Amino acid sequence: MTRKKLLVLLSVAVLFAAAQSAQSQISKANVTGGEVQGVVNGNVASFKGVPFAAPPVGELRWKVPHPVNPWSGVKKADAFAPGCIQDKQLATMMGGPSNFSEDCLYLNVWTAAKDKGEKLPVMVWIYGGGFALGATNVPIYDGTKLAQKGVVLVSTAYRVGPFGFLAHPDLSRESGKGSGVYGIQDMIAALRWVKENIAQFGGDPSRVTIFGESAGGISVSMLAASPAAKGLFHRAISESGGSFAPVRTANETGLMVPSLQLAEAAGKSLLDGLGAKDLKAARALSAEEIQKVSGTSLGRFWPVADGYVLPGDQYEMYQAGRFNDTPVLIGTNSDEGALFVRNTVTPAAFEQQIRSGYGPHADAILKAYPHETDKEAFRSTKDIFRETAFAWPTWSWARLQSQKGKSKAYVYYFDRRTPESQDGATHAAEISFVFANPGGIFTGTPQPGDAELSNLMQSYWVNFAKSGDPNGSGLPAWPAFTERDQKAMFFDTNPSAKPIPNIEKLKAFDTYYSWRRDEARQRLQQEGKRQ
């Protein structure tokens, strides 16, 4: 045989092997509603834009997600669905998509399984965005690299802003179970879809890990306490998220989850302003009209303590042992507040802000945060945002899980620094490392060792999804968090386990939130006596 013929035969063999490999991937699946066909790229098949609920439009606006509308034939699942309707300008500025629709309840699946019987662990991603923004088709959320690590990756959409979290007295009466948690109910519907369908993609419905960042991480925390999500997941990962402050009844500093009464009043004001005299008129309004008057504030709409999906103060629920007890892997970034605090802060302004917001605990907080100069006051303002929004809820979650749960808690601290973020890692900077998709807008200038750090974090995340323990051969030991030995895995230039950082600051806020919780109890007791 001549050399030329041998090369031709070898080329044909390689092409045949590649074709066989592609054919051996799962490219079609029978799911709730019908059959879907994905796209095979290398050793990963992706299924994009798969419906998990009926479009929440018309009469289904502001209702619990309804079952999928079935289809005939094979539905092509080769493109992302539009993001849930939100402020387009702000979403695009934050790196999100530019196409939105009220018809948005779709999810995506990436799998490297060769057949349906592989039973790979499943990871379900919940995006962030302050409950006002977010979509699954952001490039850094592409699940290919995680699928190649040995999991089935699912990313799911959920309604945001007024479409996901508007409460109203009439909506509460209509449901008989409160209102204002439609976005969380979307997540629960997606998890039910995963339980019923993920085996078709080679996934194991008995090993489902929910994970998310920011509002997505807060959502993971809420699902960990929600009776409605019981049994739908088996591990939880929260990146910069947690919801353990008391329920907000007015404008208490550092409290986000509104009471049903407070949220209903805000929703009534919004619909009255739109001229909607009843729910029928409100549902006849265009989505654009509702979004326009809702504004762009990231904190205006938040999941509501409706009494059913979110029964109340999550801290107290954990203390009473009423939560979904699974292993948790949770953490924060070192300079989270840099994304949210941009303006110069003077010492006088800093002190006035603390005294006006933290009542009798202002002195303790002022003592914990240096503020003698403008530079110190600015840094402390950022750090207080970090503590109240992310670090204190994460620390409290780890403590409560280790004290009240049978499953373990693992805590991390992401501290990768760049020329743009010399004070520490900004909010959302870890996402591109978890997904191994460089180039996110929060990541900053590439640094030496980035690929190694990403591989390390992915290994921990995937190990945790497999077994509930992030540790593995060749990885730095990551001890479980305990009340007596409070350690976090530091992701920096020398990843290792170290004591929980900023502990005195966390303790100062722990005292503050305890006071707010006592206030809430006393208020409820007084209301009970009046009734």
Q: Is 60 exceeded by the pLDDT of residue 360?
A: yes
Per-residue pLDDT, 6: 44
pLDDT range class, residue 90, cuts 50, 70, 90: confident
SS3 content of the chain, % helix, strand, coil (to 5): 45, 15, 40
pLDDT digits (tens, 9 = 90+) for 4-48: 554 444 443 444 344 444 446 899 999 999 999 999 999 999 999
How many Cβ atoms are within 10 Å of 403's Cβ, its own excluded?
12
- CA–CA gap between residue 200 and residue 184 (Å, rounded): 25
Of 39-53, 417-431, 434-448, the one with minimum mean pLDDT is 434-448
Asked whether residue 108 is domain-assigned, the answer is yes
CA distances from 517 to 251, 313, 513, 521 (A): 14, 9, 6, 6
CB 434 within 8 A of CB 141: no
Pairing assessment for the beta strands 328-333 and 44-51 based on DSSP bridges: unpaired
User: What range does the domain containing 255 cover?
Assistant: 39-338+391-530
pLDDT range class, residue 2, cuts 50, 70, 90: low
Percent of the chain having pLDDT more than 90? 87
Q: 34 CB contacts (<8 Å, ≥6 apart)?
A: 70, 71, 72, 73, 74, 75
Per-residue pLDDT, 342: 85
Specify the higher pLDDT residue, 257 or 521. Answer: 257
Asked whether residue 371 is domain-assigned, the answer is no
CB 345 within 8 A of CB 377: yes
CB 154 within 8 A of CB 172: no
**Residues tagged active-site:** 214, 336, 427
Q: What is the mean pLDDT of residues 450-478?
A: 98
Q: Is 80 exceeded by the pLDDT of residue 55?
A: yes
Q: Is 60 exceeded by the pLDDT of residue 511?
A: yes
Asked whether residue 364 is domain-assigned, the answer is no
Helix, coil or strand: residue 264: helix
Count of domains for the chain? 1
Asked whether residue 424 is domain-assigned, the answer is yes
- CA–CA gap between residue 238 and residue 224 (Å, rounded): 10
Percent of the chain having pLDDT more than 70? 93
Q: Is 90 exceeded by the pLDDT of residue 403?
A: yes
CB 175 within 8 A of CB 152: no
Q: Is 90 exceeded by the pLDDT of residue 94?
A: no
Q: Specify the CATH number for the domain of residue 293.
A: 3.40.50.1820
Per-residue pLDDT, 16: 38
CB 402 within 8 A of CB 358: no
Q: What is the mean pLDDT of residues 161-169?
A: 98
Per-residue pLDDT, 10: 43
Rg (CA), the chain: 24
Helix, coil or strand: residue 426: strand
Asked whether residue 178 is domain-assigned, the answer is yes
Helix and strand totals (H; E) in the chain: 18, 16
Asked whether residue 479 is domain-assigned, the answer is yes
Q: What is the mean pLDDT of residues 174-186?
A: 98
- CA–CA gap between residue 301 and residue 3 (Å, rounded): 70
Asked whether residue 378 is domain-assigned, the answer is no
Q: What is the mean pLDDT of residues 160-176?
A: 98
Strand residues in 112-179 grouped as ranges (E):
120-126, 152-156
pLDDT digits (tens, 9 = 90+) for 366-399: 999 999 999 999 999 999 999 999 999 999 999 9
Strand residues in 143-231 grouped as ranges (E):
152-156, 203-213
Asked whether residue 264 is domain-assigned, the answer is yes
pLDDT digits (tens, 9 = 90+) for 192-219: 999 999 999 999 999 999 999 999 999 9
CB 66 within 8 A of CB 60: yes
Of 130-134, 381-385, 437-441, the one with minimum mean pLDDT is 437-441
Per-residue pLDDT, 9: 44
pTM higher than the cut 0.75 = yes
Q: Is 80 exceeded by the pLDDT of residue 244?
A: yes
- In our burial notation (b when 16+ CB lie closer than 10 A, e otherwise), range 138-170 reads bebbbbbbbbbbebbbbbbbbbbbbbbbbbbeb
Q: What is the mean pLDDT of residues 405-434?
A: 96
How many Cβ atoms are within 10 Å of 235's Cβ, its own excluded?
23
Specify the higher pLDDT residue, 313 or 530. Answer: 313
- CA–CA gap between residue 35 and residue 76 (Å, rounded): 9
Please state, rounded to an integer, the average pLDDT across all residues of the chain: 93
Per-residue pLDDT, 491: 98
Q: Is 50 exceeded by the pLDDT of residue 531?
A: no
